[in-house]
Amino acid sequence: MNPSAQQPERPSPSRRRFIKHGIALGAALAAGRAAPAHAQLPPAPDDPSRVVGGPMLPYGERSRFEEALREKGPPSMPDEWGGNFTPLGEMLGTITPSALHYEVCRGGVPTIDPKKHRLLIHGMVDRPLILTIEEIRRLPSASRILFLECAGNTRSEWAAPMAPSVQFTHGLTSCSEWTGVALSLLLREAGARKNASWIVAEGADATGNERSIPMAKAMDDVLVAYGQNGEALRPGNGYPLRLIVPGWEGNINTKWLRRIKVVDSPYMTRMESPDHTSLMPDGKARQFLFVMEAKSVITFPSGAQRLPGLGFYEIKGLAWSGRGLVRRVEVSADGGKTWRDAKLQAPLLRFAHARFRLDWRWDGREAVLQSRCTDETGYVQPTLAELVKVRGVNTIYHNNAIQSWKVAADGNVHNVHV
Amino acid sequence: MSTSSQSKWASTAPFKHLPESDGAGASGARTCACSLSRPLRRRTPGVIVAGVLLLVAGFGPPAAAQLPTYGVGRPPTVEEVKAWDLTIPPDGQGLPEGSGTAALGKPIYAGRCASCHGDKGEDPKYRVLTGGRRTLTAAELPKNVDWLLGGEPALTIGSFWQYATTLWSYINRAQPFDEPGSLRADEVYAVTAYLLYLNGVIGENDVIDAKTLPRVKMPNRDGFVPDARPDVGKTARTRKR
């Protein structure tokens, strides 16, 4: 599908000015946060062109007026356990800033000295080996823009609309440029044996996060990554070394990678048996659900945001598919009765977030906004009712249902099931 | 990812026809004290020849480099592998010596585990560990956002876990939460036995060790099926626009 095929209706310039003003006001009202850190700093000058500015910094910070933050959940668990949700409603474009990339930890974020860190590759290989980070960085490298999504993203939404905002319904997905070495290169160099059918990857964190990965995927497109968005990985995202497994559930993208064992059967680790299995209505659980199926969500307008008045708004959102390219995103403003094609931001990349946009005029009446994506395999993102009919409400993982946001007559946006 | 750029480098095949003697001199300084050196030496021609080519190209590989094409890396020692190779598969391969029973595990559990998980693994605060048998088809709606931590169905060790080896491996590596890896092998066997006993899987005085643990058949051993997706939303449909 040609992303530019859909020509949006353009608002008049005067109308656009009004709208821009209105959205800014709405954002300010919606923010409603605790006093920001810049409260102690001198106020910004009325005319910044009349005073000398501040010094340039060796390592940059965002403007003191920017306040988007990750938020950790669930609150019942210790700070070292759970998810740190990306504020998708405040993200622009397709790349997630490294400082706001989602994280999931079950034993805290380890502090790892890269000079001491080692990668061990052993098991069914002809040449078991230990590599330092410095040695890994000498090897032929590649960079790819890829999304990650926790298998449990949107898990709160199976039975009822529970989370107030897109940060908590969908914030366990992010998209970065990852740089590293092809795992296939390391496995070939180590002499992985022909009868080996799986690898077990292990992290150096307190839980020793372990996952079994089929050899076919390991030899296909997996990266042993040390770079994220042009610099080293962030600690919460695996510093100094992690696996990036394109399109597959977040947990298998082993962070703090220190060991790869080449084996001939899955090891049934804690994170693949019992966790990351999905219980079906008949009491059986599906296992090894690797691929993240096509999914999309509107990030504006979305839950807990507020439209300040009638008129023009650009509906914005993200779409992605673990099976490759997003081909099409449709948007409905009437709860799924009618659909319009959204514009897709080029270039579209396989296994990356795609930004979609659609011009929309709010007439002040209640509206239910939805997005639905189709990927390169022809797979169409299902409704929640379609998913629940087959899988029930107890499967926890892999909820890729169409999300509904209700714009109430007062402009407030709510998470709803329709 | 484009793998075309590395594929021609990742194989040692192009180097194999070169004479072995070319490599022997270049690796004269090569010493390998580890016990893995013997099987390695049998395979040295490719390694050494590749190393020579890299030397010619200006990259001097260290002695005993393990990546034949790139001349970096070294073989691990037996101790290094042993220290990290802790993941236990269903057949029990790698389980250490030692043993324990539920009776021996009860006081260890009380001292190291109960504050988070309750006296009998019943505390939902950080995941219920016991009970829950015959609740897997419960249609009850979630009681809270994170229903996994309470309510039904209850996915416990006894109701849901497939393999007892997973339990041993996880306790050994990751528990207690605030002191991961601090239990000795005997203690891990004993706590594992206690949790299996609390779940009605074994008797109070059954000995759990490297031989018996893999033989424990968990109640839900056969409760898992392969991925059946795409099962929903599969078809691209023509819709009214």
Report residue A343: phi and psi, to 5°: -75, 140
Q: Among residues A54, A278, A288, A319, which one has the least CA distance to residue A173? A: A319
Q: By CB neighbour count within 10 A (0-12 exposed, 13-18 middle, 19+ buried), where does B18 fall? A: middle
Residues B78 and B126 reside in one and the same domain:
no
Let me know if residue B239 belongs to a domain: no
pLDDT at B137 over 50: yes
Confidence category of residue B138, pLDDT binned at 50, 70, 90 = confident
Residues B71 and B177 reside in one and the same domain:
no
Give the pairing type, strands A142-149 and A173-182: antiparallel
B145 to A189: CB separation less than 8 angstroms, yes or no: no
Let me know if residue B1 belongs to a domain: no
Q: Which fold has domain A291-416?
A: Immunoglobulin-like (2.60.40)
Let me know if residue B221 belongs to a domain: no
Q: Are B97 and B123 in contact (CB under 8 A)?
A: no
Of residues B89, B126, B225, nearest to A286 (C-beta): B225
Residues B117 and B67 reside in one and the same domain:
no
pLDDT at A41: 85
Q: How many domains is chain B built from?
A: 2
Q: Give A197-244 pLDDT, tens digit per residue.
A: 999 999 999 999 999 999 999 999 999 999 999 999 999 999 999 999
Q: Among residues A210, A381, A75, A140, which one has the least CA distance to residue B85? A: A210
pLDDT higher at B64 or B187: B187
pLDDT higher at A99 or B63: A99
Let me know if residue B90 belongs to a domain: no
Buried residues in A373-411 as b, exposed as e (16+ CB within 10 A): bbbebebbbbbbebbbeebbbbbbbbbbbbbbbbbeeeb
Nearest CA to CA, how far is B101 from chain A (Å)? 22
Q: Where are the domains of chain A?
A: 291-416
Q: Which residues of A fall within a CB distance of 8 Å from B183?
A: none
pLDDT at B139: 63
Residues B73 and B110 reside in one and the same domain:
no
Q: Which residues of B fall within a CB distance of 8 Å from A394?
A: 138, 153
pLDDT at B183 over 80: yes
Q: What's the gap between Cα B226 and its chain centre?
A: 20
Q: Token match 């530019």: residue? A: A4
Residues 243-262 of A with CB under 8 A from B: 246, 258-259, 261
Residues B194 and B131 reside in one and the same domain:
yes
Domain that holds residue B67: 30-85
The Cα A385–Cα B225 span in angstroms is 23
Q: Which residue of A has its CA nearest to B148?
A: A396
Q: What is the ipTM of this complex?
A: 0.88
Q: Among residues A308, A298, A302, A280, which one has the least CA distance to residue A390? A: A280
DSSP B177-222: TTSTT-S-HHHHHHHHHHHHHHTTSS-TT--EETTTGGG-B-TTTT
Nearest CA to CA, how far is B117 from chain A (Å)? 13
Residues near A232 by beta carbon (within 8 Å), at least 6 away in sequence: A114, A226, A239, A240
Q: Which residues of A fall within a CB distance of 8 Å from B69?
A: 189
A254, A394, A402: which to substitute to probe chain B, counting the most B Cβ within 10 Å? A394
Q: Which residues of B fall within a CB distance of 8 Å from A267?
A: 87-90
Q: Give A285-298 pLDDT, tens digit per residue.
A: 999 999 999 999 99
Q: What is the pTM of this model?
A: 0.84
Q: Give B3-59 pLDDT, tens digit per residue.
A: 333 333 233 233 333 333 333 333 333 323 333 333 333 344 444 444 444 444 444
Q: By CB neighbour count within 10 A (0-12 exposed, 13-18 middle, 19+ buried), where does B189 fall? A: buried
* Mean pLDDT across B221-226: 97
H helix intervals, B65-181: 78-84, 102-112, 114-117, 164-174
SS3 (DSSP) at B77: coil
DSSP state of B137: T
Report residue B48: phi and psi, to 5°: -70, -45
Q: Give A130-158 pLDDT, tens digit per residue.
A: 999 999 999 999 999 999 999 999 999 99
pLDDT at B149: 56
A386 to B70: CB separation less than 8 angstroms, yes or no: no
Of residues B87, B170, B180, nearest to A200 (C-beta): B87
Residues B106 and B204 reside in one and the same domain:
yes
Task: Tell whether A24 is within 8 A of chain B (Cβ).
Answer: no
Which of A281-295, A318-332, B123-137, B142-156 is the least confident region? B142-156
CA atoms within 13 A on the CB side of B179: 7
Residues B208 and B107 reside in one and the same domain:
yes
The Cα B154–Cα B137 span in angstroms is 10
Residues 63-102 of A with CB under 8 A from B: 74, 76-78, 81
CATH code of the domain covering residue B158? 1.10.760.10
H or E element that contains B10: helix B4-10
pLDDT at B150: 64
A392 to B139: CB separation less than 8 angstroms, yes or no: yes
Let me know if residue B14 belongs to a domain: no
The Cα B23–Cα A15 span in angstroms is 77
Nearest CA to CA, how far is B37 from chain A (Å)? 10
Q: Tokens for B148?
A: 């996994």
Taking 50 as the pLDDT cut, the residues of chain A under it are 1-34
Q: Among residues A347, A343, A295, which one has the least CA distance to residue A322? A: A295
Of residues B3, B227, B234, nearest to A182 (C-beta): B3
Residues B126 and B210 reside in one and the same domain:
yes
Residues B148 and B54 reside in one and the same domain:
no
Q: Are A329 and A341 in contact (CB under 8 A)?
A: yes
pLDDT higher at A33 or B101: B101
Q: By CB neighbour count within 10 A (0-12 exposed, 13-18 middle, 19+ buried), where does B215 fall? A: exposed
Nearest CA to CA, how far is B171 from chain A (Å)? 9
Q: Are B232 and A402 in contact (CB under 8 A)?
A: no
The Cα B148–Cα B156 span in angstroms is 10
A129, A197, A289, A321: which to substitute to probe chain B, counting the most B Cβ within 10 Å? A129
How big is the A-B interface in CB pairs under 8 Å? 228
Let me know if residue B13 belongs to a domain: no
Residues B105 and B62 reside in one and the same domain:
no
A140 to B170: CB separation less than 8 angstroms, yes or no: no
pLDDT at B221: 97
Let me know if residue B6 belongs to a domain: no
Of residues A182, A269, A392, nearest to B87 (C-beta): A269
Task: Tell whether A191 is within 8 A of chain B (Cβ).
Answer: yes
pLDDT at A217: 98
Let me know if residue B19 belongs to a domain: no
Question: Which residues sit opposite A178 in a β-bridge?
Answer: A144, A228
